[in-house]
A and B are shown apart, each in its own frame.
Chain A
Amino acid sequence: MPATAENTIPSSATTARPAFAITRKRTRFLGLTLDECIQAFFGGNALVALIVLALIMVFLFREGAAFFGQNQRNLTVYRQAGLEYIDHIRRQETAHTALTRRLYDLRLAAFTQLTQNQRLSPADANARLAALDDFSVRFSDAVMPIRGLVSDLGEVAAAIKTRFNVNEDKTTQRAQLLAEGRAAEAAQVVIEPVDFAAELQPILDTLPLYRETNAAFAAGLETLLTAAPSLAQIEPGLDARMDEFKRQTRACIATFPEIERKLAAWDYAQPVPLTASLSAFIFGRDWLTASFWQDWYGIIPLFTGSLLVSIVALLIAVPLGVGAAIYVNQVATPREQRLIKPAIEFISAFPSVVLGFFGIAVLGELLRRFSQAGWVHWVPGFPIIERLNALTAGCLLALISIPTIFTLAEDALNNVPRALKEASCALGASRLQTIVKIITPAALSGIISAILLGFGRVIGETMIVLLCAGNRIAIPDFTSGPAALTQPVHTMTGIIAQEMGEVVRGGIHYRALFVVGIALFLLSLAINYAAQKIITRYRIAE
């Protein structure tokens, strides 16, 4: 304050600057002060982010929602063209094929037994198995009449469906022409509506024939089973498997009357509800596109694939990530800390496509070679048949999620008050006891949320699974237990990346991919939400 100002106070001169000056003229820009401008800038940025997010969600849901209507039509055609009817019969054939495969497995086991343990030459072994081979051939041939029936009826049904699809295309064409104002050309597009009832009659008329064929099939299988060769001389264990096979075959035969009932009750005109379209997506066990027969959009194989790969990844990443976090936070010297922390965090600097490439070029082959070594054959699923499978992808995904899990778990451990550690030590607990009984439980909510976020990271990862998971769209065979981990799978992220480029925009396949995207989005949302909830709910009082 200038010294002269003091003098002005008593005189209270109106022109003089007041001594206690606390007002200031602010420069204004568009009526806003500088502070308000800065505030508006950052507020605006946040708003843009929110709007973009909202737009993305609206787009995602708008594109996806139409899928269910389209899928409902898709399923309606499936029924009306009689494909559903034939698939009922086809299921019998599929079951029989699965049984035949078991028989082949049995033969392979018997052959291995004979050549390896009883040291017979392959020729001798084959001779010993002649009876079994004869049985297998006859068993496998028993299905021929049914297969023939399915094949004949299938052609008829496929033809109906094709005609229906042609009509659909024509309708679209006409609508397009009309929209362009070319009414004359539109009138030339003739649509002959498909009379489903009449077209289906030949198929439905075969029901008595089917009944006959089916009865013969069942009787044939039964006779074959009674004459099945015994494997007891080769190995008692194999005979037990043969009994199991017989039991399964009889169980299969027992389902035949049920199929007949279904066929008799089947009605092409029965409407397909929208819920059926929804459940066909959520519980559908097939993802089958561009098929000449019927397209299926079921998320289960993709979901199980994603889940399987994530489980492998977490099985590896959780012990490593959490273990490393505990070590770094509780045990390591400051020097080690300075070395380990950046090293682990550096992993996330790898572009995932590079890791994926590494998986294809090195890891897949390395794992397969390793699995072929004699001393690891006890591991379920070893030796690995496919180079690219859930295990290969899971190993690399583990690498991707370790930095996330490590960093967040380390934070959680760091937040455990030092006082708890001191209290535990002061009571005579060793360092290990303190870590196991006090520090880790106190940090548990943070560690769990770290694992969940790692899971979110893994399930959303695309490049690695696309390159390394093997991309076979099938539900892994969980009957083989943990060996399912070494099977090739396809994932929700991978399928979008792989197929989005080649689908017709607006088509059912295109929309199905969007619904997969929505499912992925909801899953990630749920995981992140759960992680947030856990960390706030179980945070220990400071």
Chain B
Amino acid sequence: MTLPPPRTPKIENRESKIAPPAPVRTLIEITGLDFYYSEKKALDDIHLRLPEKRVTAFIGPSGCGKSTLLRCLNRMNDLIDGTAIRRGSIKINGIDINRPDVDPIELRKRVGMVFQKSNPFPKSIYENIAYGLRIQGINTKSRLDEVVERSLRGAALWDEVKDRLHESGLGLSGGQQQRLCIARALAVGPEIILMDEPCSALDPIATAKIEELIHELKRRYTLIIVTHSMQQAARCSDFTAFFYLGRLIEHADTRTIFMSPSNPQTEAYVSGRFG
């Protein structure tokens, strides 16, 4: 169980990214992945290794397969009829997550997800966060109280909502709702957090708060963030993967991708010539 410590002052320095990082361990290893929606090939021969406790951004134009790949990582695509991985594997911590003996429910507890549109349950703020524990059979009040507070602090929302924990989560502003969703994902104790365009429906101030939060979270979690905004990728990720038409075009540390991409398509995309 890895949960963030109680609110620490934000000391993350943007420049720290270029300081030589500690040797990074690969957490997720994707090899030769082909993914289909019915007969349509959505991902084509993806090879990708994602490092632990770093932020990786997936960028690319719409329909390039970045969200599909993200949803493969916690097997959310299982919920859609007719989807299938035809070839290749995804290993997290060395375990192939598509092995028949892997329980997708257990997997999703370790790999949390935050969606494009904030989607709090029509319940109170408290219950939104407690839900992940209640479904695991944890109903002790003291334990729930503790986790709710820790998760809300982790998502930098505690100070804003501590006096109205029992009001509906739908009464929060868009940015707060999205942070509530992040807190909800933290409560289950994941190691990896997937974010599918978490800021696309938010105004710049709310976006800034979420980005700040991403910097906080990467101390404890491995983050993968799908984004349409190249500025956002540049601001908050350590590594960036560029996808185009279902293929991984280039994957490198963010600075390289934006400053000196090796592939002309990447360069065309990051410089805004298409997409």
Contact = CB atoms under 8 A, between A and B. Distances in A.
A484 to B, nearest CB: 39
B36 interface: no
Contact of A419 (B81, B112, B117): B117
Contact of B122 (A425, A426, A541): A541
Contacts of B108: 425-428
B79 A428 contact: no
B118 to A, nearest CB: 9
Nearest to B184: A427
A253 B220 CA distance: 84
Given A334-B81, A433-B135, A437-B135, A424 B121 contact: yes
Contacts of B113: 422, 426
Interface string B113-134: 1010101111000000001101
Contacts of A437: 131, 134-135
A95 interface: no
Given A333-B81, A427-B185, A442 B122 contact: yes
Contacts of B188: 427-428
B192 to A, nearest CB: 12
A428 B136 contact: yes
Given A419-B119, A422-B115, A540-B122, A427 B74 contact: no
B76 interface: yes
A419 B116 CA distance: 10
Given A333-B81, A419-B117, A427 B131 contact: yes
Interface in B92-127: 105-106, 108-109, 112-113, 115, 117, 119-122
Interface in A79-122: none
Contacts of A334: 81
A273 interface: no
Interface string A393-433: 00000000000000000000000010111111111111001
Contacts of B136: 428
B170 interface: yes
B92 to A, nearest CB: 15
A428 B81 contact: no
A428 B131 contact: no
B241 interface: no
A430 B242 CA distance: 33
B79 A425 contact: yes
B226 interface: no
A541 B174 CA distance: 13
A420 B135 CA distance: 15
A438 interface: yes
Contacts of B134: 437
Nearest to A334: B81
B181 interface: yes
B31 to A, nearest CB: 24
A417 B185 CA distance: 19
Nearest to B133: A427
B78 to A, nearest CB: 9
A421 B121 contact: no
A182 to B, nearest CB: 77
Nearest to A438: B121
Interface string B72-88: 00101001010000000
The number of chain B residues touching the other chain, given as a range, is 20 to 34
A340 to B, nearest CB: 16
A429 B112 CA distance: 12
Interface in A492-542: 540-541
A333 B81 CA distance: 8
The number of chain A residues touching the other chain, given as a range, is 20 to 34
Specify which of A334, A421, A424, A426 lies most central, judged by the most chain B CB atoms within 10 Å of its CB: A426
Specify which of B115, B121, B132 lies most central, judged by the most chain A CB atoms within 10 Å of its CB: B121
Interface string B170-213: 10000000000100110010000000000000000000000000
Given A422-B79, A423-B181, A424-B131, A430 B105 contact: yes
Contact of B76 (A426, A441, A442): A426
B76 A425 contact: yes
Contacts of A433: 135
A417 B109 CA distance: 22
Contacts of B170: 540-541
Contacts of A420: 119, 121-122
A163 to B, nearest CB: 71
Interface string A371-412: 000000000000000000000000000000000000000000
A332 to B, nearest CB: 11
B135 A428 contact: yes
Contacts of A426: 74, 76, 108, 112-113, 115, 185
Nearest to A417: B119
Contacts of B135: 427-430, 433, 437
A423 B108 CA distance: 11
A419 B109 contact: no
B38 to A, nearest CB: 12
A442 B127 CA distance: 14
Nearest to A419: B119
A420 B121 CA distance: 6
Interface in A462-504: none
Contacts of A438: 121
A427 B132 CA distance: 6
Given A334-B81, A428-B188, A423 B109 contact: no
Contacts of A422: 76, 79, 113, 115, 119
Contacts of B112: 426-427
A541 B134 CA distance: 23
Nearest to A425: B79
Interface in A428-449: 428-430, 433, 437-438, 441-442
Interface of A: 333-334, 417, 419-430, 433, 437-438, 441-442, 540-541
9 contacts: A334-B81, A422-B115, A424-B131, A426-B112, A426-B115, A428-B109, A428-B136, A540-B122, A540-B170
Leading 3 A-B pairs by shortest Cβ distance = A419-B119, A428-B109, A426-B113
Given A417-B119, A426-B112, A437-B135, 7 more contacts: A425-B76, A426-B74, A426-B113, A427-B112, A427-B135, A428-B105, A437-B131
